[in-house]
Amino acid sequence: MKTLLLTLAAVGLLSLAPANLPAQTAPTTVIHVVTVTWKPGTTPEQIQAALDGVKALPAQFSGITHVWIKSIKVQGGKANAFVMEFADQAALKAYAGSPAQKEWYKVYIPIHAESTTFDITN
């Protein structure tokens, strides 16, 4: 009888859990994915300085929560890619033209030839 009561209690608790778990795990952050081709003659040191600048952005702009700069696999002709995770769409919008972006652009824009950007959220 005790086992039956414990089983029924467990089933009752599980029935209170939300049925749609994937919706709960879908983040509302914005992933800003950029693939880059550098200008001819760009040195490895200049590229590293631009990528280091991306890595430093969360300390300069609170709306950026994470960055990734190490490309493991590259396809499609771009030389590098980097990713910035923004807290939400408002943070992404606020970043555009911000002092942090303008400062980083001093290193990035002179060596940037072409890029493709995807902003992704749920």
HSE of 41 in the Cβ direction (CA atoms, 13 Å)? 1
User: Residue 2 pLDDT > 70, yes or no?
Assistant: no
**pTM (2 d.p.):** 0.78
CATH no., domain 26-120: 3.30.70.100
The torsion angles phi and psi of 57, rounded to 5 degrees, stand at: -60, -40
Task: Compute and round to an integer the Cα radius of gyration of the chain.
Answer: 22
Amino acid at 27: P
Helix (H/G/I), strand (E/B), else coil: 96: coil
Average pLDDT, the chain: 86
Of 107 and 20, which is predicted with more confidence?
107
**For position 20, what pLDDT does the model report?**
55
